[in-house]
Amino acid sequence: MEKLREKLDKELNNGDFVKAVLSGSFDKSVKKTVYEPVSVSGKTMIRRDTFTHDGKDIRKNLDIGQFLPDLEQRCVNFRQMNVLCVSFSSEVLRSKKGSLHISYGKGVGRTDAADNDRKKNYILDPTEKYGFLVMLGIQDKDGRVKDKKQSKFRQINRFLEIVKDVTAKLQGDDLIIWDLCCGKCYLSFAVYYYYTQILNKSVTLYCVDRKSDVIAECAEYAEKLGFSGMKFICGDVFKCLPERDPDMVLSLHACDTATDIVLSEAVKRSAKVILSSPCCQHELAGQLDCPDLSFITKEPVLKQKLAAIITDALRCKLLYASGYSVTTLEFIDPDETPKNLLIRAEKAAIPKKTREKEIKEYEELCTRLNADPLMRKLLQRPTGQI
């Protein structure tokens, strides 16, 4: 074992360790334990996943220095250990009485290691099993992403990347996050997992939706997963918002003007970050009346599309006027769904004069377009009032 330890230590120091798997536990307490390098906030750590027989994945990120002692301590309880590095691989077979048979083979080489690096860039690795994804029916019980759920899986991963990008804006370890119009909470579970299991932050994530059956089911999943910081509120986002102000507000595909409620409440409750993906923007389609645009609006399909774009552009203007820097992104492949626009708003020090100018422009535009968007009216009223 001493020789293996030395070789492994060397690979580790060179950043050439790829994976270690412990399988066949003598006391049958766990199914297997997997160690892999991951990057956490730019720092390389070793992620340890312990897979239990009832389908749970207990995850912990170890500092590099903790890895070898941890591996040595645990491997005595396993019949088999496989180690994979760039320059060698090794299999260790252990009998119940403790005798060892150690063999060595080829490593993965540089090319495969580069592939592995690319894989590490995914926040959720498609070859890993995640308890919450199994529970949500995205992965099967063996951890394979189901064929019909591949696009959902990509969407979740992409969304997590966007969440990762804005995380620097969220100070402190005890974050309050709202997911409004959360539906089946695919993203809430992923975000909760990301913050608590990968970044080791403490999070309270409030999920609000008016569908009682969906909320009850998600609450049950959260309890089974031990996601105790997830709280569920059944009700209309007009009236049933959490008491605690949010650091970040998420809302994906909140129908029509529900997005206006989400955005205006997020602004009024001083969220530092807002990630909102609007959908079914019908409100302005019934209002738009602008002679300059009649060559478009005379065609009903084009009018609907134009109204949707104007709705979101006006929302962005209002967010900017409310003190947020705003970016719009296509967060999933447009071939997968046309509902892929994401508004990313981050609280910023926008000078008062600039904001006043923006609101003036906004009012002028609304007059020219004959538009009277709900978001503007909501922003002028006290929080929670329609």
Ligand X SMILES: C[S@@+](CC[C@H](N)C(=O)[O-])C[C@H]1O[C@@H](n2cnc3c(N)ncnc32)[C@H](O)[C@@H]1O
| CA gap 187, 331 in Å, rounded | 13
Shortest gap between Cβ of 171 and ligand X (angstroms)? 26
Q: For tokens 């809302």, what's the residue?
A: 251
Does residue 210 bind ligand X (CB under 6 A)? yes
Rank residues 320 and 331 by Cβ distance to ligand X and give the closer one: 331
Q: What angle do CA 181, 182, 186 make, to 5 degrees?
A: 155
* Closest separation in Å from C-beta 218 to ligand X: 11
Q: Is 209 in the site for ligand X (CB under 6 A)?
A: yes
Q: Does 307 bind ligand X (CB under 6 A)?
A: no
CB of 183 to ligand X, least distance (A): 2
Q: Write down the least CB distance from residue 264 to ligand X, Å.
A: 13
Q: Which of 20, 71, 237, 341 binds ligand X (CB under 6 A)?
A: 237
Q: Which two tokens stand for residue 264?
A: 């205006």
- Looking at residue 286, the DSSP 8-state letter turns out to be G
User: Measuring CA to CA, how many Å separate 208 from each of 241, 244, 261, 346, 374?
Assistant: 7, 13, 13, 22, 20
Say if residues 258 and 237 touch (Cβ distance below 8 Å). Answer: yes
Assigned token pair, 283 = 């409100």
Quote the least distance from Cβ 283 to ligand X, whole Å: 13
Binding status of residue 258 toward ligand X by CB under 6 A? yes
> Going residue by residue from 322 to 361, which x/- string records binding to ligand X, judged by CB under 6 A?
----------------------------------------
**By CB under 6 A, residue 183 contacts ligand X:** yes
Among all residues, whose Cβ is closest to ligand X? Answer: 183
- Assess 154 for contact with ligand X (CB under 6 A): no
The angle at the Cα of 243, spanning 170 to 256, to the nearest 5 degrees, equals: 80
Residue 262 and residue 242 in contact, taking contact as beta carbons nearer than 8 Å: no
Tokens read off for 224: 């089974």
Residue numbers of the site for ligand X (CB under 6 A)?
A: 181-184, 186, 209-211, 236-238, 252-255, 258
